[in-house]
Amino acid sequence: MFRESKKIGRNAPCPCGSGLKYKKCCLGKEGAGNRVKELYYKKYGIRLKNKADVEAIKRCGRLALETLDLVEKAIRPGIATEELNTLVHEYTVRRGARPAPLNYKGFPKSVCISVNEVICHGIPGPRVLKEGDIVNVDVTPVLDGYYADVSKTFFVGTPAPEAKKVVEVAKECLRRGINQVAPGNTVGDIGWAIQKYAESRGCSVVREFVGHGVGFKFHEPPQIPHFGKRGQGVVLVPGMVFTVEPMINLGGKELRILNDRWTAVTADGSLSAQFEQTILVTEDGCESLTPYPI
Ligand code: MF3
Ligand code: CO
Ligand code: CO
């Protein structure tokens, strides 16, 4: 998705903080001048992506979205989350890709499936979906060495008003977060917009898990918190690719990790919802590499 134009003037100060004019610094051909590329790697460990990288991440993103569509069609009361894992695994492999979650830091399955009070990192298993559940499916294929990370929260059957609310708020948080992504804005602007909206709706923002750079690896710098202050943190520059993936709780923000060492649940047992996309910073705003309507 493209943001309304927020183009930096050629003669304006470069957002990378070099003190040079933008045209003399980062206004480069491939979306990232050499100077900013070096600076961002040295200073933050951020590896900017070039055109070919972006095209490859996009191809991976398309596969991720098709995988999510497949899962959505299979979701119904009575299906075990293990069966959805099998669908994701087989489809990913059939398309010549690999599911990044499998064996990642010991994660035992090919997709994260998080039901109701599970915030994220739910491990597929015998849990059976039932009418009224909400279920987040978080898919990350690796295609030709490139990663794209995307998730949606689905309804199982007809949602109760509370379920509908937390899912709507989480989706709107993603929309407002992405809307802040433009060169010259900061990482803090994204979190600020998300936190402000979530809390205005009486919901809370999870602190322990954040968005992240993505593309060459599953998780790269920078971290993208879904809370924070305007103007703080790294200045966004063209060529950055990262996820925005707010986890929004209906109750308190506190969480607990189950004995499986992965599953994060709300401490108060309240519902939690999440939407995630992989976003590229462009010259005049941003573009989702895993686009779906929000
Ligand atoms: N896809 C998750 C994210 O959005 C990460 C899952 S790590 C795993 O960052 F090991 F649980 F797969
Ligand atoms: Co992610
Ligand atoms: Co993810």
How far apart are alpha carbons 100 and 98 in whole angstroms? Answer: 6
| Whole-number pLDDT of residue 19 | 77
| Whole-number pLDDT of residue 129 | 98
Nearest CA to ligand 1 atom 1: 138
| Whole-number pLDDT of residue 14 | 75
Mutate to test the pocket of ligand 1, among 121, 210, 272 (most ligand atoms within 8 A of CB): 121
CB-defined site of ligand 1, < 6 Å: 101, 104-105, 107, 112, 121, 138, 140, 149, 243, 245, 276
| Whole-number pLDDT of residue 31 | 45
Ligand nearest, relative to CA of residue 122: 1
CA 140 to ligand 1 center in whole angstroms: 8
Ligand nearest, relative to CA of residue 213: 2
Neighbours of 284 (CB within 10 A): 16
| Whole-number pLDDT of residue 9 | 80
Say whether 294 sits in a helix, a strand or coil: coil
pLDDT (tens, 9 = 90+) of the chain, 294 residues, equals 222 345 678 888 776 667 778 787 767 545 456 889 999 999 999 999 999 999 999 999 999 999 999 999 999 999 999 999 999 999 999 999 999 999 999 999 999 999 999 999 999 999 999 999 999 999 999 999 999 999 999 999 999 999 999 999 999 999 999 999 999 999 999 999 999 999 999 999 999 999 999 999 999 999 999 999 999 999 999 999 999 999 999 999 999 999 999 999 999 999 999 999 999 999 999 999 999 999
Half-sphere exposure of 267 (CA within 13 A, CB side): 8
How far apart are alpha carbons 2 and 279 in whole angstroms? Answer: 10
Q: What angle do CA 131, 134, 139 make, to 5 degrees?
A: 125
Region of 272 please: left (phi>0), alpha (psi -120 to 50) or beta: beta
| Whole-number pLDDT of residue 2 | 28
Q: Which of 271, 265, 273 shows the shortest CA–CA distance to 294?
A: 273
How far apart are alpha carbons 245 and 151 in whole angstroms? Answer: 8
| Whole-number pLDDT of residue 8 | 76
Q: Which of 106, 71, 62 shows the shortest CA–CA distance to 89?
A: 71
Nearest CA to ligand 1 atom 12: 101
Neighbours of 137 (CB within 10 A): 27
Place of tokens 């199982």: 156
Give me 14's structure tokens.
Answer: 């470069």
